[in-house]
Amino acid sequence: VRVELTETQRQLRDTIRAFAAERLRPTAAATDRDGRVPRELVAELGRLGVMGCVVPERYGGAGFDHVAYALAIEELAAACASTAAIVTAHASLATWPILAFGSDAQRARYLPKLASGEWLGCFASSVEGGLVARRDRDDWVLDGRARFVANASEAHVAVAVAAVDPDGVSAFVVETASPGWRVESVAERTGLRGAAPGDVALEAVRVPRANRLGDEAGGAAIAGRTLDAARIATAATAVGIARACLEDSLVYARQRRAFGQPLAEFQGLQWRLADMAAAVEAGRLLTLRAASLFDRGLPYSGEASMAKLYAAESAMALATQAVQMHGGYGYTREFAVERYFRDATVIASAAGTPEALRLAVADHLLGETARA
């Protein structure tokens, strides 16, 4: 697979790189410390077209492809991984399933507001039977809890996946202003704190019948395909974190002198930096390959799982190395590497834990045998 960037993709990447340097890098530590979604930055990202990156122009989006989207997410993450996580939850987990599986009426009502960033989206899944839906006359009524929902406290719209009797699963578009939708206060999070993953409790939330997404029995497939697609952006987030680890280590290795010379002159550290650079490139290529397959309408699920698995594990390894290379300073908040370390650990579990991704890749390799 050849991944050669078009002029449009390069332009978007460079625009977001400039925005990230000017607006995100200086505020990333505060976003992390405050642990809340920075609404003013989200509004700016809406104006830049990032919130509706892959939404067609007829719905008010920017109409970019997934390669461009992945490049934009990497740029955001290299400056502020929380912001990349906010955009991913909004664009991949909430907006994309409405675009891909929504009715004309659902698309017309939700996509323009989501694409502009006026409304923020989130995704609440009930993997362990946390959300339950039952029919009541013309409505559905949703009850239960969903945990670790990114953007929960600020979201206007949620794609919620709920169990339906007898053993089906349905997906719904839920407006969070509906009576009975409540975001619970949560314990302090380790990383990606700006995306403020919160717990949501639903108590008899009424959802009009017209807001069911796809077929009544289609919820599991919608959730699966949404998570598959989101793995591309999550992998790009991990690549951005890994890149930040490399870039900050390069700066530090040049400036810090030990035993009479800059760290950068120790060959052992040069080897480490070379390995870090190779891992960043490999993660990016896997991610862009999955995005490119997606854009051409080809199967991409196994490749997206591999990209997310490799990029997330690389981010964790590079974050450990970056902290070590900063010596004692690596453990202080004076340098950003301790934040990269916390963010890398958390990105590993979002949109598929390493174990879940290995099982998904094995499934692609072995098919029925892996499922036996």
Ligand X SMILES: Cc1cc2nc3c(=O)[nH]c(=O)nc-3n(C[C@H](O)[C@H](O)[C@H](O)COP(=O)(O)OP(=O)(O)OC[C@H]3O[C@@H](n4cnc5c(N)ncnc54)[C@H](O)[C@@H]3O)c2cc1C
Q: Which is nearer to ligand X, 237 or 321 (CB)?
A: 237
Q: Which is nearer to ligand X, 124 or 162 (CB)?
A: 124
- 311 binding ligand X? (CB under 6 A): no
Give the alpha-carbon dihedral of 289, 294, 295, 298, to 10 degrees.
100
Please pick, from the candidates 222, 263, 346, 361, the single residue that binds ligand X as defined by CB under 6 A: 346
- Min CB(223)–ligand X separation in Å: 9
Q: Which is nearer to ligand X, 123 or 310 (CB)?
A: 123
* β pairing state of 212-213 and 198-208: unpaired
- 353 binding ligand X? (CB under 6 A): yes
Please pick, from the candidates 48, 220, 282, 356, the single residue that binds ligand X as defined by CB under 6 A: 356
Please pick, from the candidates 141, 150, 235, 280, the single residue that binds ligand X as defined by CB under 6 A: 150
- Min CB(228)–ligand X separation in Å: 13
- Min CB(360)–ligand X separation in Å: 11
Q: Which window, 232-240, 301-309, 314-322, 349-357, contacts ligand X (CB under 6 A)?
A: 349-357
The residue at minimum Cβ distance from ligand X is 353
151 to 180: interface string for ligand X, x by CB under 6 A: ------------------------------
Please pick, from the candidates 296, 355, 365, 366, the single residue that binds ligand X as defined by CB under 6 A: 355
- CA–CA gap between residue 340 and residue 330 (Å, rounded): 10
Please pick, from the candidates 24, 78, 146, 312, the single residue that binds ligand X as defined by CB under 6 A: 146
Q: Which is nearer to ligand X, 226 or 249 (CB)?
A: 226
Residue partners of 281: CB distance under 8 A and separation at least 6: none
- CA–CA gap between residue 281 and residue 84 (Å, rounded): 19
Q: Contact 171/218 with Cβ under 8 angstroms? A: yes
Residue partners of 338: CB distance under 8 A and separation at least 6: 323, 330, 331, 332
Residues numbered 77-96 forming contacts with ligand X, rule: CB under 6 A: 89, 93
Q: Which window, 34-42, 144-152, 247-255, 329-337, contacts ligand X (CB under 6 A)?
A: 144-152
Q: Which is nearer to ligand X, 90 or 289 (CB)?
A: 90
Q: Which is nearer to ligand X, 160 or 269 (CB)?
A: 160
The residue with tokens 């409505």 is 139
- 350 binding ligand X? (CB under 6 A): yes
Return the sign of the alpha-carbon dihedral for residues 291, 243, 346, 119. negative
Q: Contact 354/313 with Cβ under 8 angstroms? A: yes
Q: Which is nearer to ligand X, 159 or 164 (CB)?
A: 159
Residues numbered 193-252 forming contacts with ligand X, rule: CB under 6 A: 197
- CA–CA gap between residue 137 and residue 199 (Å, rounded): 29
Give the alpha-carbon dihedral of 350, 5, 26, 249, to 10 degrees.
80
Q: Contact 344/191 with Cβ under 8 angstroms? A: yes
Instruction: Residue 127: name the closest of 146, 112, 109 by CA.
Output: 146
Q: Which window, 21-29, 103-111, 304-312, 342-350, contacts ligand X (CB under 6 A)?
A: 342-350
Residues numbered 109-128 forming contacts with ligand X, rule: CB under 6 A: 122-125
- CA–CA gap between residue 97 and residue 199 (Å, rounded): 21
Residue partners of 185: CB distance under 8 A and separation at least 6: none
* β pairing state of 157-164 and 131-136: parallel
3-class SS at 254? helix
Residues numbered 8-67 forming contacts with ligand X, rule: CB under 6 A: none
The residue with tokens 């960037």 is 5
Name the residues that contact ligand X, by CB under 6 A: 89, 93, 122-125, 146, 148-150, 192, 197, 346, 349-350, 353, 355-356
